[in-house]
């Protein structure tokens, strides 16, 4: 009987030891998965680097790809910057479209993605570079899905500074990340209905686009993970981007608001 008791005790001890070993292995695997997930999130968070140049003009590094938005200010504004793989233009106004800057960048066959209204105004020597996209259209290009989003003033009138269908905002998507560049717009339904935006650049300047409270309301409607105010100089000076940050975070503290200096030399706007 004692022998049987000893065997049973050893069996229980062995089973308990195996269960403990299995539990430790599961915990180790779970920790490894958590660390991998955190590392992936950290990698994703640094995959997109934005360098403000001025107002609506920026240089974006997304992995190995470089693109410019609305390059103006002459080629000297981009000294020291990597050459673009492609360029996005949003509108016909001089703070978004400048043929002399594009020509000075010596783009070769670099593609410039534009709405039709912009294509109609650019000179003949740039026409071969152009890839026209209009509101609602999307293209696969250099590993990105690029969608043209409407940008316009409310109410929609013929004498509005930005009429619906003329200019483009853009949503770029790659490797599950989504970037929204608003262009000159108010908080239109097409903005409010956006989904799963990781980073959003939102304009806010009167009388051209919208005030900070309206911009904040629009952002709170579609809830990007991060929002960056840009294009925030108006007719009467700079919009209060600190107020914008306060309003967004009062409405949803999970949205990161990053304030960047889009006016390093306080140069005069092209508006």
Listed in sequence order, the residues at least 6 apart from 202 whose beta carbon sits closer than 8 Å to its beta carbon are 182, 215, 218, 219, 227, 228, 229, 230
Distance between CA atoms of residues 15 and 1, nearest Å: 21
pLDDT, tens digit, 9 for 90 and up, residues 109-151? 999 999 999 999 999 999 999 999 999 999 999 999 999 999 9
pLDDT of residue 29: 56
pLDDT of residue 66: 98
pLDDT of residue 158: 73
pLDDT of residue 110: 98
- What predicted TM-score, i.e. pTM, was given to this entire model? 0.81
pLDDT of residue 268: 44
- CA–CA distance from 196 to each of 127, 153, 199 (Å)? 34, 24, 9
pLDDT of residue 179: 98
Distance between CA atoms of residues 265 and 267, nearest Å: 5
Q: Which CATH number fits domain 47-257: 3.90.650.10, 1.10.3720.10, 3.50.50.60, 3.60.15.10?
A: 3.60.15.10
Task: Tell me if 248 sits within 8 A of 227, measured CB to CB.
Answer: yes
Domain boundaries, the chain: 1-46, 47-257
pLDDT of residue 50: 97
Listed in sequence order, the residues at least 6 apart from 160 whose beta carbon sits closer than 8 Å to its beta carbon are 152, 153
Distance between CA atoms of residues 18 and 225, nearest Å: 44
User: Which residues in the chain land under pLDDT 50?
Assistant: 2-15, 17, 32, 34-46, 267-271
pLDDT of residue 23: 55
Listed in sequence order, the residues at least 6 apart from 29 whose beta carbon sits closer than 8 Å to its beta carbon are none
pLDDT of residue 19: 55
């Amino acid at each position: 009987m004692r022998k049987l008791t000893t065997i049973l005790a050893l069996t229980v001890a062995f089973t308990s030891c195996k269960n403990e070993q299995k539990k430790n292995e599961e915990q180790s695997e779970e920790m490894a998965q958590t660390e991998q997930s955190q590392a992936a999130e950290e990698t994703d968070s640094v995959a997109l680097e934005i360098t403000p140049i001025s107002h609506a003009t920026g240089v974006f590094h997304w992995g190995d790809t470089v693109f410019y938005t609305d390059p103006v200010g002459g080629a000297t504004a981009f000294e020291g910057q990597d050459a673009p793989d492609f360029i996005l233009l949003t509108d016909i106004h001089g703070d978004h479209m400048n043929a002399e800057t594009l020509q000075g960048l010596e783009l070769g066959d670099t593609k410039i993605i534009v709405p039709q209204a912009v294509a109609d105004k650019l000179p003949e020597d740039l026409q071969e570079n152009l890839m026209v996209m209009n509101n609602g259209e999307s293209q696969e290009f250099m590993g990105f899905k690029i969608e043209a989003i409407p940008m316009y003033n409310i109410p929609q009138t013929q004498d509005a500074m930005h009429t619906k269908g003329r200019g483009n905002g853009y949503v770029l998507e790659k490797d599950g990340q989504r970037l929204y560049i608003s262009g000159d717009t108010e908080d239109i339904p097409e903005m409010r209905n956006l989904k799963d935006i990781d980073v959003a650049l939102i304009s806010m300047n009167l009388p051209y686009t919208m005030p900070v409270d309206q911009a904040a309301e629009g952002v709170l409607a579609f809830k990007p993970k991060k929002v960056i105010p840009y294009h925030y100089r108006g007719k009467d000076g700079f919009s209060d981007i600190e107020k914008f940050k306060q309003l967004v975070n009062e409405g949803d503290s999970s949205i990161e608001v990053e304030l960047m200096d889009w006016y390093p030399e306080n140069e005069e706007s092209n508006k």
